[in-house]
Amino acid sequence: MAYADLLPGEMRRKLAQKIAESETAREQAIDVMTILQGHFGYMSDEAMLAASELLAMTPLELEELATFYNFIYRQPVGEHVIHVCDSAICWMHGHESLLDHLLSRLEIRLGETTEDGLFTVLPVCCLGYCDHAPAMLVDRRIHGELTREKIDRILTKLIEESHSLPGRK
Amino acid sequence: MCPQVLFSNRKPGRIATMEEYRQSGGYKALSLVVGKWTGKDVCAEVQKANLRGRGGAGFPTGLKWLGVPQEGAYPRYIAANCDEMEPGTFKDRILVHADPHMILEGMVLSAYATGAEKGFIFVRPSYESGARILEREIQRARDAGYLGRNILGTDFSFHIVVHRSGGRYICGEATALLNALQGNRPNPIRPPPYPTVKGLWGRPTVVNNIETMANVPHILRNGAEWYQGLSRSSGSPGTKLFCVSGRVNRPGCFELPMGTTLREIIEEHAGGLPPGCQFKACLPGGASTRFLTSEHLDVAMDFESLAAIGHRMGTAAIIVFDHKTCLVEVTLNLTRFFARESCGWCTPCREGLPYLGDLLRRIEAGEGEEEFIPMIRTMCGHLWNAYCALAPGAASPVESLLTNFEDEVREHIRQRKCPCKA
Amino acid sequence: MPRIIIDGLEIEVPQGTKVIDAAERLGIMIPRFCYLKSLGAVGACRMCAVTFLQGPFKGVQMSCMIDVQDGMSVSTTHEEAVAFRKQVIEWLMLNHPHDCPVCDEGGQCLLQDETVSGGHGIRRYRGKKRTYRNQYLGVFIAHEMNRCIHCYRCSRFYQEYCGYRDLGVLQMADRVYFGRFEDGQLESPFSGNLVDLCPTGVYTDIPARHKVRSWDLNRSPSLCIHCSLGCNTVANARHRTVWRVEGRFNEALGSEFICDRGRFGFGHTNHPIRPRRAKEGSSFVSLKDAMKSAAEKLRHIHATFGAQAIACLGSARNSLETQTTLRSFCEGLRLPEPHFFVNPHVKKKVCGAVARLDERVAVSLNQVAHADFVLAVGTDPLNEAPMLALAMRQAQRQGASLVVLDPRPSFLPAPHVHMGVAPEALNGVLGGLVRKAMEPGERENTALRSRGFLQSLPGEPFFRAFSDEQEKVDAVLSGLKKSRNPVLVCGTEVVRESTPSLCADLALLLKEVKGRCGLFYVLPGANAFGSALLSGSGESTFLDVIQSMERGFTKALVLVESDPFVHFPHQERLREAMKKLELLVVLDHLPSLPVQTSQVFLPTSTLFEVDSTFISQEGRVQWSRAVHEGGIPMEQWTGGTHPPRVHSTVIPGRDFRACGEILKEMARIVGGKGKVFLPDPWSFLERGPSAPEAPSRGNRPADGKRLIPRESSPELFPLQEGHFTLREETEHAFELLVVEAVFGTEELSAHSPAMEKWEWEPHMWMHEQDAFELGFSQDEVIGMDLDGGTLEVKLKVCPAMARGVLVLPRHHRLQWQKFSDFSMRVPHDCMRKS
Ligand SMILES: Cc1cc2nc3c(=O)[nH]c(=O)nc-3n(C[C@H](O)[C@H](O)[C@H](O)COP(=O)(O)O)c2cc1C
Ligand code: SF4
Ligand code: FES
């Protein structure tokens, strides 16, 4: 268990228990990866190897799942991941110009991470918030009825929060 | 106001507590049934009520449950489908946030009907708040004896686990969902054998949409006849959660009798189109249904009436488009969505959808050719021979674009640009 | 049996036959990509669409997904189906790079065939093609993902069929990718089948890559001679080089797959250091002169010291032609019977096994794959006979339980029960298991004849070692009890001499009780069966020959495609003994040690250069056809340039002949014209009634015929004293087991450049507890002071193997031959960390 040893003891215990309670270990693969990517920032190779040890799956078997899903990140992502809905209803409600605004505010292209490592913007299909279109998900929290101003407010708040964290300028 | 059944406890900004649910008659069906009826009785009642699945396919629920073998093959499982990733659809989210215990009671009853001992609620990542609510309420229901070991003091036990998805549209397809739940790649598996015979870990498994589940307590408590009476149509009983989105004044989710006309839903409940916007078309049942034009606005929204005019109820998610919206572009957006969410198992979907997308993109960008139109038509026809229902669903809006708006498409090709753009 | 009409032709097929297969029986090849009979149907590619006209299905449906039912009528040419298939092939070609000119699959590419047959010729799609990055998959196969059409055959074969977990499906939608977690050697020793399976050129064979176009290749039906199973192959050659070996379907073996040892082990035939020129002393001569000189020298010894001074040693890698001719050679010249085994114990075991295999119990590999219980005794299927491991896996996938009783660590790629039993306890544990599994009820039913035998089987003491593994024992017992179609697999390498025969007895007993039981031996070498048949009845062994050499009685030794240094445990002793010879004649195509010291060396052809016959371990005769004439590969001859710039009227390096022909020629010379009469070689093979007579060539037994009697021995259950004994536990010594490994130990493939690249370090296995008690640990180098010097080897420890044994794969780079004799014991006190 060389890689799983990288995890804090408490987390390891909890994951092991979760796995033990399920019908089969692999059933927990997504949850384990979600938790590990919370810890490592993304599913780095080390994180994959740690998860594969915990789940008694080979790294390949885990990769078969990790690369299928939208919400498992095998590439480094920023502290805050913004998934912007680009499906039909949000698109009708001005998704494109809002996305342009968001990206130019952050000075990145779609799929990229800001230089300060704070934000990554990714496209996503319908979030199920069509009644509040246009919508986006920030760290799995939904924001609907987006406008440029609302996006600015959300960003400003997150930036301020991160600056007030110890260890950050 | 129409009678509210699933939304009887829906209040703006808050979730019905277990107590509120109980006061409205919640968990009565459970005490009525558990330990008193046989599982078969429950199935029969649900079948008598003619409850049809709310997840998209509209399969009769009672019949599905009866597909679980009478003998042997334990343990058995229930999988409640709260994946809901079809564009325009958000009823499951609202239901979870309105009255989670209704879903739980429905699951317990379906487990009782089919002899299952464990259930999973499969929740998509963007519904994380829903997943938390469900987990919290599961604990409460367990504490109250409605869930877990020896439910209501009987020897019937049933456990529910919330399973979080990694997020992909195909995971909503019943057999792909089962693969996803087991930690396999979420490719669909074409029946037979049906999940009710061979599902999770090779055991009988019932997959239902959570809205379907939520109907069950009401049917058992009030009887099949009462349930039929809720509807305005003869063939499709009960009420239905309709999601309306797109170009309307009040997008939202409304519980209305089956058979309510499309016009009434759009104009009255969703507040009609904004000023200056005229109705051009809508998708009546989510992204994988056909464009419906104003000529059919008076159709009664139920399974039979829609089928009669060549449409599908789908997820009953009505997406409204106004006269300024370019339907080629809408279709392109939808096609890209399906292409991106294809599981990649079969050729038509994996290769055909990006191809379709490329043709539509060219038309929209003014690079279209006349010959694209017959190409798209035949290709859509071939998508129906895909492995699962995703690709046929993806073909539906495209096919109907050509049926109903061929002129608009031709205009793109003739003008070598999108005529809707200034 | 249901009947179906396909394109107007009616056919009756067994229940459960897919429409696509029914059509194939009528000679109608419905296009397909994902479907492969051995892998089953999954309906992914949608290429096999046909139109169902009548019956329970209607319209366009996938013919691979639907079982034939009465009343069905199907059209493969109906316009809807044809149009759909045309569309599918267009879809598949959207992203395919049109790199056929540089693709090794070109010319034998299913995608090319189906594109043409589907009628897709004109490109309409104008979008960008998707591209992928390739991975390094190791030394055997190259990866070219851009060519992929996503049929999923590779991942399904790799994971489901073979049970390995390092290659699979990544990504989704139109980005689906088949590969590994990271670059690296594929772990499965069956990976080469991906080359055959892949309908296009994603996986190609590295040794043949960019060397030759498939349509230029000579192809011939050939055999794999790298273990005793005799998998069928297709050999491919051009420019005097064998480039590639592919799998070939054979009903009895049940699949078209082969292992990587079989696929990539052919390199010895092209090897630059293959000895191709006849030699007398240290000078090159023509084969003709060398034969003459060898014959004259033999005649001289014959005349001076008598026939008894000449010994001949063949081997299990000889073709049957070589073996029979050698026997005839010895008979005709009145020489002592030839030997085919270096190790006398192995000889006894193989002869014992061959003597006991008969039609009542013998089963084919395919039957193993359909058993409901497989009990493997004293064999390590993956390493000794790799395709057996896959057959066992297929049985397991259909619900069979697998049990392996073997001292070695077990690497079977399927869930199984492994009991690490030391060789001396194998008989006891096996006998005990069978005895216990026969419930009183079943025991009562047992016919009188075998009841005594059953009761004479040992009981409890042999289970003592498994007292804390009761669950395992119970699982085995209940599996054996429930089984209705069991198969006993028995090895012949690490077991005691009595084990093969005990297994035959037990198979008969189980058959008596259950109505059905198979027996499947694993033998050491492609033609070990033939070796046993031709060993004659004499008691003498090769050890006697060595002693006789040492005493100076044996003056001449003829090595017929045989290298005693590989198997004789004391190299120094053998070397000394050989020094005393007056004459060493070597016939071979491998650059073996004796080739260098021989007085006369006679180069022989390899499997690929002469029609040959081999007998597999189930007694099945199989023919192989030569694929080319041979000679120094063009690439070596011309220094790699093409076309060749050097011309000659004779084929360079072609002065060799089939071993048998050389022997015949020498006999003619030794005997003098007309004076020697050689018996018909094939006459040595006459054995009881067997499979229905098929046409044979001359007297050569027919291809596919099984050379086993209907009933082997009239005497049932010859249980003997001493079959069930346990070693004293106080003995402070290990029993050394020198064993086979998939790669690196087998003689022929060890000379294959492709295989040599599959580097692994020589090592030896020891039980974790044994190592702990001696203070050794994983990866330490252990030195052993033996009679023949010091042996140093890296240690691997394993918790799941027998105690008291050392397992040493006979890696060709490890000089392990430092022991005093064949029953090798290593006292604890001669071992130390170095
Ligand atoms: C591509 C695809 C996606 C689907 N997504 C969902 C979904 O998100 N939620 C759902 O309830 N059903 C979905 N379905 C329908 C399910 O396959 C299945 O019919 C349904 O969950 C059964 O429940 P019901 O009988 O209660 O409707 C989907 C079907 C397809 C083909
Ligand atoms: S149609 Fe085929 S590729 Fe598409 S989602 Fe279904 S199985 Fe997967
Ligand atoms: S061969 Fe039938 S779908 Fe692929």
* Residue A98 domain boundaries: 80-163
Enter the ipTM.
Answer: 0.96
Q: Do A84 and A64 share a structural domain?
A: no
* pLDDT, position C719: 59
Residue of C154, C150, C192 lying closest to C171 (CA atoms): C150
* pLDDT, position C639: 76
Residue of A124, A88, A95 lying closest to B125 (CA atoms): A124
Determine phi and psi for C766, rounding to 5 degrees.
Answer: -145, 150
pLDDT tens for each residue of C293-323: 999 999 999 999 999 999 999 999 999 999 9
Residue of B263, B221, B208, B233 lying closest to B60 (CA atoms): B208
Residue B78 C-beta-side C-alpha neighbours within 13 Å: 33
Q: How many residues does chain B have?
A: 422
Q: Do A64 and A84 share a structural domain?
A: no
Q: Is C183 near chain A, with CB under 8 Å?
A: no
Cross-chain residue pair C127–B342, CB shorter than 8 Å: no
Determine phi and psi for B336, rounding to 5 degrees.
Answer: -65, -40
What structural domains does chain B harbor? 18-229 (3.40.50.11540), 239-322 (3.10.20.600), 327-415 (1.20.1440.230)
Q: Do A19 and A88 share a structural domain?
A: no
Cα-based angle B354, B243, B407 (whole degrees, multiple of 5): 50
Other beta carbons within 10 angstroms of residue B200's beta carbon come to 25
For C541, the token pair is 């062994």
Residue C565 has pLDDT above 60, yes or no: yes
Q: Give me the mean pLDDT over the C449-462 stretch.
A: 75
Query: Are the C-beta atoms of residues C360 and C711 closer than 8 Å to each other?
Result: yes
For all residues of chain C together, what is the average pLDDT? 92
* pLDDT, position B334: 98
Q: Do A102 and A44 share a structural domain?
A: no
Residue C793 has pLDDT above 90, yes or no: yes
> Which alpha helices (H) appear in C311-380, and where do they start and end?
320-332, 344-356, 365-369
Q: Do A136 and A112 share a structural domain?
A: yes
* pLDDT, position C727: 59
Closest ligand 2 atom, CA of B349? Answer: 4
CA distances from B371 to A67, B327, B413 (A): 37, 19, 10
**CA of residue B222 relative to chain centroid, distance:** 24
Q: Give me the mean pLDDT over the C550-566 stretch.
A: 97
Whether A138 is in a domain gets the answer: yes
pLDDT tens for each residue of C745-756: 999 999 999 888
Q: Is C435 near chain B, with CB under 8 Å?
A: no
C176: nearest CA in chain B?
A: B344
Nearest CB to A29; choose among B183, B245, B343: B183
Residue C463 has pLDDT above 90, yes or no: no
pLDDT tens for each residue of C255-301: 999 999 999 999 999 999 999 999 999 999 999 999 999 999 999 99
Q: Give me the mean pLDDT over the C234-251 stretch.
A: 96
Query: Are the C-beta atoms of residues B81 and B210 closer than 8 Å to each other?
Result: yes
For C792, the token pair is 């140093």
Nearest CB to C172; choose among A57, A63, A68: A68
Q: Do A123 and A56 share a structural domain?
A: no
DSSP C28-69: -----SS-BTTTB----S-TTEEEEEESS--EEEETTT-B--
B302 lines ligand 1 (CB under 6 A): no
Q: Give me the mean pLDDT over the C17-38 stretch.
A: 97
Our CA-based measurement puts residue B365 at a distance from the nearest CA of chain A, in whole angstroms, of 16
* pLDDT, position C448: 63
Q: What percent of chain C has pLDDT over 70?
A: 94
Query: Are the C-beta atoms of residues C401 and C558 closer than 8 Å to each other?
Result: no
Q: Is B247 near chain A, with CB under 8 Å?
A: yes
B171 lines ligand 2 (CB under 6 A): no
Residue B358 C-beta-side C-alpha neighbours within 13 Å: 15
Whether A73 is in a domain gets the answer: no
Residue C706 has pLDDT above 70, yes or no: yes
Ligand nearest to the CA of B173: 1
* pLDDT, position B51: 97
Residue C631 C-beta-side C-alpha neighbours within 13 Å: 16
Q: Do A62 and A119 share a structural domain?
A: no
B125 lines ligand 2 (CB under 6 A): no
Whether A154 is in a domain gets the answer: yes
Residue C33 has pLDDT above 80, yes or no: yes
- In whole angstroms, what is the distance from residue C250 CA to residue C166 CA? 28
pLDDT tens for each residue of A93-115: 999 999 999 999 999 999 999 99
* pLDDT, position C688: 45
Query: Hey, whose CA ends up nearest to atom 31 of ligand 1?
Result: B389
C23 lines ligand 3 (CB under 6 A): no
Our CA-based measurement puts residue A169 at a distance from the nearest CA of chain B, in whole angstroms, of 31
B388 lines ligand 2 (CB under 6 A): yes
Using pLDDT thresholds of 50, 70 and 90, give the confidence band for residue C782.
very high
B301 SS3 class: coil
Mutational pocket test of ligand 2: of B335, B350, B387, B396, the residue with most ligand atoms within 8 Å of the beta carbon: B387
* pLDDT, position C834: 86
Query: Are the C-beta atoms of residues C74 and C63 closer than 8 Å to each other?
Result: yes
Q: Give me the mean pLDDT over the C682-699 stretch.
A: 60
* pLDDT, position B103: 98
Whether A87 is in a domain gets the answer: yes
Report which of residues C661 and C693 the model is more confident about: C661
Size of interface A-C (CB pairs under 8 A): 29
Q: Give me the mean pLDDT over the C117-135 stretch.
A: 94
- In whole angstroms, what is the distance from residue B94 CA to residue B416 CA? 43
* pLDDT, position C648: 80
Whether A151 is in a domain gets the answer: yes
Q: How, if at all, do strands B205-209 and B77-82 pair?
A: parallel
Residue C464 has pLDDT above 80, yes or no: no
Q: Which long-range contacts (CB under 8 A, 24 or more apart) does C750-754 make?
A: C750/C812, C751/C267, C751/C268, C751/C271, C751/C274, C751/C590, C751/C591, C752/C264, C752/C265, C752/C266, C752/C267, C752/C268, C752/C271, C753/C207, C753/C267, C753/C271, C754/C139, C754/C140, C754/C206, C754/C207, C754/C264, C754/C267
Q: Which of residues A40, A68, A96 is at a domain's end?
A: A68
pLDDT tens for each residue of B243-287: 999 999 999 999 999 999 999 999 999 999 999 999 999 999 999
- In whole angstroms, what is the distance from residue B307 CA to residue C574 CA? 89
Query: Are the C-beta atoms of residues C450 and C516 closer than 8 Å to each other?
Result: no
What is the CA(C51)–ligand 3 centre distance, in A? 14
Q: How buried is B408 (Cβ within 10 angstroms: 0-12 exposed, 13-18 middle, 19+ buried)?
A: middle
Residue C445 has pLDDT above 80, yes or no: no
- In whole angstroms, what is the distance from residue A88 CA to residue A65 CA? 27
* pLDDT, position A169: 46
Q: How many residues does chain C have?
A: 834
Residues of chain B with pLDDT under 70: 1
What structural domains does chain C harbor? 3-93 (3.10.20.740), 126-269 (no CATH), 279-347+538-618+633-687 (3.40.50.740), 352-449+456-528 (3.40.228.10), 733-833 (2.40.40.20)
Residue of A157, A115, A163, A166 lying closest to A139 (CA atoms): A157
For C275, the token pair is 């000895």
pLDDT tens for each residue of C359-371: 999 999 999 999 9
* pLDDT, position B72: 80
The answer to which of B357-361, C452-456, C652-656 has the lowest mean pLDDT is C452-456
Cross-chain residue pair C181–A68, CB shorter than 8 Å: no
Whether A64 is in a domain gets the answer: yes
Cross-chain residue pair A128–B166, CB shorter than 8 Å: no
Number of domains, chain A? 2
Residue C693 has pLDDT above 60, yes or no: no
**CA of residue C27 relative to chain centroid, distance:** 32
Q: Do A158 and A131 share a structural domain?
A: yes
Query: Hey, whose CA ends up nearest to atom 28 of ligand 1?
Result: B173
Query: Which residues pair with residue C221 across a beta bridge?
Result: C234
Q: At what angle do helices C79-93 and C110-118 cross, to 10 degrees?
A: 130
A89: domain CATH number is 3.40.30.10
Q: Do A97 and A29 share a structural domain?
A: no
**Chains within contact range of chain B (3+ C-beta pairs < 8 Å):** A, C
Q: Do A130 and A93 share a structural domain?
A: yes
Cross-chain residue pair A69–B246, CB shorter than 8 Å: no
* pLDDT, position C731: 74
Q: Do A145 and A103 share a structural domain?
A: yes
Closest ligand 2 atom, CA of B388? Answer: 6
What is the CA(A67)–ligand 2 centre distance, in A? 17
Q: E-strand spans in C452-594?
A: 486-490, 518-521, 556-560, 583-588
Q: Do A86 and A52 share a structural domain?
A: no
**Preceding omega of C413 cis (within 30 degrees of 0):** no
